[in-house]
């Protein structure tokens, strides 16, 4: 199947116009920079301590080790939040590549805190990164100064240098401690963004598919109750369309291997392909498909230090209903057929 798909793609190559307008050229450049940061730069950062050690750069390595120890709690304390870095024009060019667009359906009160549930995970969650991480879609202006912090796996803060980049964007660990620290502070107008489906949902990220891993995930509801943060459902139409994934139906050998990897390492390793820089047939760059991130209206939550299971279940059910309503209300507007239903598993 994979060989057939590759042969089919290569036989229908569509080359990129190298003389395209500057606006398109800079969008390609921004995605290339993003690709380098995600893949090659990440690998280099993982290897950096070994390179420094075996090349005798012990002073530099020791200095960074001291800094790391001193700063080790930052991923649990809201990061650095370097607004200058987040508002670079590069991030807006990145959003223009797909393009990624942010749509507000209700106002948010700056005196209140929020937990945004972002769906679907897709392969990399580019809509979440662009809108709420890099501020490439002017989320801070659209939502009148609300300060966003995206949750990510603690392991993403282990690589030197890359760790500081993520912290400067304002990323935090996806742990109870970090979420409660951000939402439990005296500062109001904070929003923690959680890509709830995680690695399991990435395995369902096929173009045109709308299947969410949500039915049994209730930890975010519990955190909302403990902190008094209102819940906001978010659906990104097109998130699953920016990469194609090799077929991995339930029960297949590939799916079993991916689920084993997810269980052992916490990552699902979907086999994906997109497009190249100079051609659109095959490569690892994302496909420039429209991504429309629709933010729903807040679900009010009353602060409860020890939430009971019945309360958690009730609010979780309401959240799924509101998310399904948000999907149904906007799906036809963004190219999804009227008959398509959101699937929870």
How is 301-314 classified by DSSP, letter by letter? ----SS--HHHHHH
Give me the pLDDT at residue 82, please.
75
- Categorize the per-residue pLDDT at 212 as very low, low, confident or very high, splitting at 50, 70 and 90: very high
Give me the pLDDT at residue 11, please.
57
Would you say residue 320 has pLDDT above 70? yes
Spatial CB neighbours of 184, under 8 Å, sequence gap ≥ 6: 227
Percent of residues, the chain, with pLDDT higher than 70: 96
Lowest mean pLDDT, pick from 167-176, 224-233, 270-279, 304-313: 270-279
**276 assigned to some structural domain:** yes
Give me the pLDDT at residue 15, please.
75
Rounded to whole angstroms, what are the CA distances from 114 to 80, 97, 184, 302? 20, 29, 11, 12
pLDDT in tens, 167-178: 888 899 999 999
Residue 205 is encoded by which pair of tokens?
Answer: 């990220």
Domain of residue 121, residue span: 21-344
**7 assigned to some structural domain:** no
Across 78-82, 100-104, 249-253, the highest mean pLDDT is recorded for: 100-104
Give me the pLDDT at residue 300, please.
96
pLDDT in tens, 1-46: 555 555 555 556 777 776 778 888 899 899 988 888 777 888 788 8
**191 assigned to some structural domain:** yes
Q: Which of 121, 324, 292 is nearest to 204 (CA)?
A: 121
Give me the pLDDT at residue 226, please.
96
Residue 218 is encoded by which pair of tokens?
Answer: 């209730």
Helices then strands, counting H and E runs in the chain, come out as 14, 11
Residue 176 is encoded by which pair of tokens?
Answer: 């109870």
Q: Which of 217, 185, 181 is nearest to 200 (CA)?
A: 217
Would you say residue 220 has pLDDT above 90? yes
pLDDT in tens, 98-141: 999 999 999 999 999 999 999 999 998 999 999 999 889 999 89
Rounded to whole angstroms, what are the CA distances from 169 to 47, 136, 248? 23, 12, 33
Q: What's the chain's average pLDDT?
A: 90
Give me the pLDDT at residue 20, please.
77
Dihedral angle of Cα 5, 8, 11, 13, to the nearest 10 degrees? -70
**10 assigned to some structural domain:** no
Q: Write down the pTM of the prediction.
A: 0.91
Rounded to whole angstroms, what are the CA distances from 190 to 120, 146, 170? 22, 6, 12
Higher pLDDT, 187 or 325: 325
**119 assigned to some structural domain:** yes
Euclidean distance between CA atoms 106 and 287, whole angstroms: 30
Rounded to whole angstroms, what are the CA distances from 307 to 161, 278, 302, 310? 39, 54, 10, 8
- Categorize the per-residue pLDDT at 264 as very low, low, confident or very high, splitting at 50, 70 and 90: confident
Mean predicted confidence (pLDDT) in 217-224: 96
Beta bridge partners of 101: 292
Strands (E), the chain: 100-104, 114-119, 147-152, 172-173, 190-195, 211-212, 230-237, 244-245, 272-273, 291-295, 343-344
**4 assigned to some structural domain:** no
**137 assigned to some structural domain:** yes
**In the chain, how many domains are there?**
1
**16 assigned to some structural domain:** no
| CATH number of the domain to which 225 belongs | 3.40.1130
Euclidean distance between CA atoms 194 and 118, whole angstroms: 6
Dihedral angle of Cα 227, 232, 235, 239, to the nearest 10 degrees? -40
For residue 57, the tally of other CB atoms under 10 A from its CB is 15
Q: Which of 273, 230, 259 is nearest to 109 (CA)?
A: 230
Give me the pLDDT at residue 63, please.
94
Give me the pLDDT at residue 306, please.
92
Lowest mean pLDDT, pick from 86-95, 292-301, 307-316: 86-95
Residue 260 is encoded by which pair of tokens?
Answer: 């084993």
Mean predicted confidence (pLDDT) in 85-92: 88
């Amino acid at each position: 199947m994979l060989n057939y798909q590759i042969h089919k793609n290569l036989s229908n190559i569509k080359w990129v116009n190298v003389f395209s307008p500057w606006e398109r050229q800079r969008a390609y450049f921004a995605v290339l920079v993003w690709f380098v940061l995600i893949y090659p730069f990440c690998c280099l950062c993982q290897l950096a301590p070994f390179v420094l050690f075996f090349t005798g750069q012990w002073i530099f390595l020791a200095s960074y080790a001291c800094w790391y120890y001193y700063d080790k709690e930052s991923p649990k304390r809201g990061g650095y939040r370097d607004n200058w870095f987040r508002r670079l024009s590069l991030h807006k060019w990145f959003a223009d590549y797909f393009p990624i667009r942010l749509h507000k359906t209700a106002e948010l009160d700056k005196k209140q805190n929020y937990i945004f549930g972002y769906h679907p995970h897709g392969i990399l969650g580019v809509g979440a990164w662009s809108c709420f991480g890099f501020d490439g879609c002017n989320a801070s202006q659209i939502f009148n100064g609300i300060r966003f912090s995206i949750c990510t796996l603690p392991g993403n803060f282990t690589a030197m240098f890359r760790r500081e980049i993520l912290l400067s964007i304002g990323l935090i660990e996806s742990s109870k401690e970090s979420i409660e620290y951000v939402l439990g502070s005296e500062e109001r107008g904070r929003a923690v963004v959680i890509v709830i489906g995680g690695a399991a949902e990435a395995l369902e990220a096929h173009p045109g598919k709308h299947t969410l891993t949500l039915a049994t995930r209730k930890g975010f509801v519990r955190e909302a109750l403990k902190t008094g943060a209102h819940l906001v459902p978010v659906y990104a139409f097109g998130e699953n369309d920016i990469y194609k994934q090799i077929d991995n139906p339930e029960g297949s050998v590939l799916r079993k291997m991916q689920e084993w990897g997810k269980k052992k390492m916490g990552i699902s390793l979907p086999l994906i392909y997109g497009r190249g820089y100079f051609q659109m047939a095959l490569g690892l760059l994302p496909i420039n498909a429209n991504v429309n991130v629709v933010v729903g209206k807040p679900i009010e939550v009353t602060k409860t230090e020890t939430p009971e299971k019945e309360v958690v279940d009730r609010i979780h059910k309401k959240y799924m209903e509101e998310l399904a309503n948000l999907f149904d209300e906007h799906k036809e507007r963004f190219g999804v057929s009227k008959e398509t239903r959101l699937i929870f598993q």
